[in-house]
Amino acid sequence: MPLSALLSAVQAGRTRAFEIAVGRGRAAGIRDQVLLEAALEFDRYAGALERHVIAGYRAAELELSRGGRDERTALLRRLLLGSPTGGVDARELARFRLHPAGRYHCLLTDVSDPARARALEQHWSSCGGLFGVVEGRLAGLTARLPAPAGSLTARPPAPADGHTGLTARLPTPADGRRTGLTARPSTPADGRRTGLTARPSTPADGHTGLTPRPLAPGDGRHAGLSARPSTPADGHTGLAGGEAPVLVVVAPAAPPAEAGTGYALCVPALAAAARFGRTGVHAVADLAGETALTLQPRLAALLGDTLLAALRPADEFHRELASTALAYLDHGQRLDRTAVTLHVHPNTVRYRLRRLQEITGLPPADAEQHLTVLETLRYWWALRTWLDTHPPA
């Protein structure tokens, strides 16, 4: 029964009880002043009763919600981590709108904060998905991939008055196109400034160009099963200034019985993506290289110590040489692209690469003869490991 219907019944009973009391009082010859005083006293008791009814309804609603969430999380953990008592039958899956023959993507996020996890879970629950915390992070299963969004963020639900504390707005340059994000303070109804509130700004044509979508949790990480990405009824998409961007990795679609395999792929892929500073939504296949390299830390250390042994971590110039070489490899061994990225002249890039070759013996930059794929991998891995292992002082 909805709360509105319950309160309507309470109000009807309250009105009828008042009518009966007044009728019997007048029949007994009680003066109107006494009846009025009694009515006011009765109204206070009736108001207290109504508040107790509302509180009891909310408590029961919360208890039922907790029970349902616990059951969803338990099923999700059995699917992703395996069940010591055997598989999950079709009736259990159907209870949460999953089909044994359906194909679902396992997704895993880096969200471990309970408040942020609940916010994302609420966003996706409207899609009919199965979400929960698995091994401390939000995880889940979904029939469709969430839309890629490098700026995807998670934030707790907005308070009842609608103020969220921090919101993002797209600035509008002279040509009218949205090019970035800015934050501005919000003003509540009483006119006082309370902080920063985020909301997309709308140009004349009504388009904002901003369509981020939030994700859900699993394995202590938040995860879940969902047929489609969700947009909450209030229009909030989860983009909030001041919150760390959410990282999500997604495995290929598979039947629920094979969800554990997808989860096993997501765990190292998430760690690799986090190590390389990724945010937003990424397929496990797109992170294959980073994942493979991250799983070989000893070999990575060996490469750095062997190929770059002549570099001194405390020497800022040596760090600049290594960073330039890494950018050069990241940009297809193109001097012009590397120079644009580093905001220097191509000759400066050429000079730094030549000095690095003189110090370490690495192959020189040659516009006519590029490094092979395996050579590029070897030197890129060595440079990246050396820079990560020896951060700036």
Residue 103, CA distances (Å) to 139, 222, 256, 257, 294 in order: 16, 20, 7, 10, 29
Token reading at 342:
């580093």
Which long-range contacts (C-beta less than 8 Å, at least 24 apart) are formed by 306-315?
306/382, 307/360, 307/362, 307/378, 307/379, 307/382, 308/360, 308/382, 308/383, 308/386, 309/360, 310/359, 310/360, 310/361, 311/359, 311/360, 311/386, 313/386, 313/390, 314/393
Q: Which amino acid is at 354?
A: R
Q: Where are the domains of the chain?
A: 3-79, 105-154+212-286, 297-389
Among candidate residues 389, 391, 382, the one with its CA nearest the CA of residue 302? 382
- Domain 297-389 belongs to what architecture? Orthogonal Bundle (1.10)
What is the C-alpha separation between 333 and 325, in angstroms, rounded? 9
pLDDT of residue 41: 86
Count of alpha carbons within 13 Å of 321, Cβ hemisphere only?
24
Residue 213, CA distances (Å) to 90, 119, 149, 235, 381 in order: 30, 12, 7, 11, 33
In tens digits, the chain (393 residues) has pLDDT values of 667 778 888 888 888 888 888 888 888 888 888 888 888 888 888 888 888 888 887 766 555 455 556 788 888 888 898 865 556 778 778 777 788 888 888 989 999 888 888 888 777 665 556 888 888 899 988 887 665 444 455 554 444 344 433 333 333 444 444 444 333 444 444 444 444 343 444 444 444 443 334 444 444 444 444 444 433 333 333 433 446 788 999 999 999 889 899 999 999 999 999 988 898 989 999 999 889 988 888 998 898 888 999 999 889 999 999 999 999 999 999 999 999 999 999 999 999 999 999 999 888 776 667 888 888 899 999 999 899 888 887
DSSP 289-350: HHHHHHT-HHHHHHHHHHHTTT--TT-HHHHHHHHHHHHHHHTTT-HHHHHHHHTS-HHHHH
Which letter does DSSP use for residue 257 in this model?
A: G
Count of alpha carbons within 13 Å of 198, Cβ hemisphere only?
22
Residues paired with 185 in a beta bridge: 196
* Residue 142, H or E segment: strand 137-142
Per-residue b/e over 266-297, b at no fewer than 16 CB within 10 Å? Answer: bbbbbbbbeeeebbbbbebeebeebbebbeee
Q: Are 284 and 269 in contact (CB under 8 A)?
A: yes
Phi, psi of 37 (to 5 degrees): -65, -40
Per-residue b/e over 198-235, b at no fewer than 16 CB within 10 Å? Answer: bbbeeeeeeeeebebbbbbbbbbbbbbbbebbbbbeee
What is the C-alpha separation between 126 and 120, in angstroms, rounded? 11
